[in-house]
């Protein structure tokens, strides 16, 4: 996958994009990151890319011409254009999976007070990473790149498959443990060291349901639950009631 990022601050991407799994994935050619600075597409004498808003008001707004020029000069015709904006649709695992199927993504980062309204016409998606306002679209773009690229084939080793991750199957992930078996009086559940793979899988499914029920019951409403899942949830409910008595 080719990922094009349009930004005024390409240097912000250096650390996060050149470390660990994302670095290895790029070294293996699983995705390529292209950082494009709007300033290089400004026709203004001093290469400025922002201006004060018509109608007055605080702050500066990104001008349309440098962003249109940068996107039109670099964006492949196929592939999707994403505009980072707190006013967009909320980013989630489902959208990450959808974007991971594309051959290329182009991500536009706003900055300052935001961008000229006409820039919205460039975008296939307007995406928010949450109901809060950051100074620029660079951190949100990195969140999207991280979540999407780890879904690309080969980025995670087989043993780190995203299939068990929280949200992937509509549920939160089950609790994980590693050595030592006993730590500060806290024990690893017996079943995980039993070597019985069927029992381990059942335990994990049940704990995944328990955790989702406790922390994100809203997710259960939108997940296809099997009869076994429903039986497990009923059992969990009985266990929780018994605890309260």
Q: Does 136 contact ligand SAM by CB under 6 A? A: yes
Residue 163 half-sphere exposure, CB side, CA atoms within 13 Å? Answer: 6
72 given a catalytic annotation: no
142 touching ligand SAM, by CB under 6 A: no
Give the closest residue to 62 by CA, choosing from 11, 137, 145. 137
Least Å from the CB of residue 2 to ligand SAM? 21
* N-terminal to C-terminal alpha carbon distance within the chain: 55
Among 53, 64, 86, 162, binds ligand SAM (CB under 6 A): 86
Other C-beta atoms lying within 10 Å of the C-beta of residue 108: 28
Closest residue to ligand SAM, based on beta-carbon distance: 110
Query: Is residue 79 a contact residue for ligand SAM (CB under 6 A)?
Result: no
Per residue in 132-169, is it b (16+ CB within 10 Å) or e — as a string? eeeebbbebbbbbbebbbbbeeebbeeeeebeebbbbe
- From candidates 14, 135, 194, 199, binder to ligand SAM by CB under 6 A: 135
- Report, in angstroms and rounded to the nearest whole number, the Rg of the chain calculated over CA atoms: 23
Identity of the residue, 113 or 165, whose beta carbon is nearer to ligand SAM in the bound complex: 113
Instruction: Decide if 165 is catalytic.
Output: yes
Q: How far is the CB of 122 from ligand SAM (least distance, A)?
A: 13
> Is 113 considered catalytic here?
yes
Catalytic residue, from 86, 98, 162, 211: name it: 86
By C-beta, is 61 or 192 nearer to ligand SAM? 61
Exactly one of 35, 134, 156, 220 binds ligand SAM (CB under 6 A); that residue is 134
Q: Which of residues 100-119 bind ligand SAM (CB under 6 A)?
A: 109-111, 113-115
Say if residue 182 is preceded by a cis peptide, omega within 30 of 0.
no
The CA distances from residue 137 to 50, 170, 231, in Å, are: 15, 27, 44
**Does the annotation count 150 as an active-site position?**
yes
Alpha helices by DSSP H, listed for the chain, are 14-17, 20-27, 64-74, 93-99, 138-149, 197-215, 217-221, 227-244
In angstroms, give the least distance from the CB of 168 to ligand SAM: 22
Q: Which is closer to ligand SAM, CB of 111 or CB of 213?
A: 111
Of the residues 102, 126, 165, 229, only one is catalytic, namely 165
CA atoms of 48 and 175, how far apart (whole Å): 51
Q: How many residues bind ligand SAM (CB under 6 A)?
A: 20
Give just the sign of the alpha carbon dihedral 167, 169, 175, 177: negative
Q: Which residues bind ligand SAM (CB under 6 A)?
A: 84-87, 109-111, 113-115, 128-130, 132-137, 140
Residue positions annotated with a catalytic role: 86, 113, 150, 165
């Amino acid at each position: 996958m080719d990922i094009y990022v349009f930004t005024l601050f390409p240097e912000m991407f250096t650390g996060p994009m050149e470390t660990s799994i994302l670095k290895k994935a790029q070294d293996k050619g699983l995705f390529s990151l292209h950082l494009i600075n709007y300033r290089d597409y400004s026709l203004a004498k001093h290469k400025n890319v922002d201006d004060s808003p018509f109608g007055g008001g605080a702050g500066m707004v990104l001008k349309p011409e440098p962003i249109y020029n940068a996107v039109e000069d670099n964006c492949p015709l196929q592939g999707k254009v994403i505009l980072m904006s707190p006013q967009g649709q909320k980013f989630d695992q489902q959208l990450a999976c959808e974007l991971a199927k594309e051959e290329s993504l182009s991500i536009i980062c706003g900055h300052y007070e935001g961008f000229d309204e006409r820039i919205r016409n460039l975008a296939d998606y307007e995406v928010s990473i949450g109901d809060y306002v950051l100074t620029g679209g660079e951190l949100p773009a990195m969140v999207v790149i991280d979540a999407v690229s780890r879904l690309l084939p080969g980025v995670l080793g087989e043993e780190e498959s995203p299939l068990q991750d929280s949200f992937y199957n509509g549920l939160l992930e089950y609790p994980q443990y590693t050595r030592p078996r006993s730590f500060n009086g806290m024990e690893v559940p017996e079943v995980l060291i039993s070597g019985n793979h069927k029992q381990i899988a059942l335990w994990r499914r049940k704990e995944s349901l328990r955790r989702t029920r406790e922390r994100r019951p809203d997710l259960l409403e939108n997940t296809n639950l099997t009869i076994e899942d429903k039986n497990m949830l009923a059992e969990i409910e009985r266990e929780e009631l018994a605890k309260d008595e």
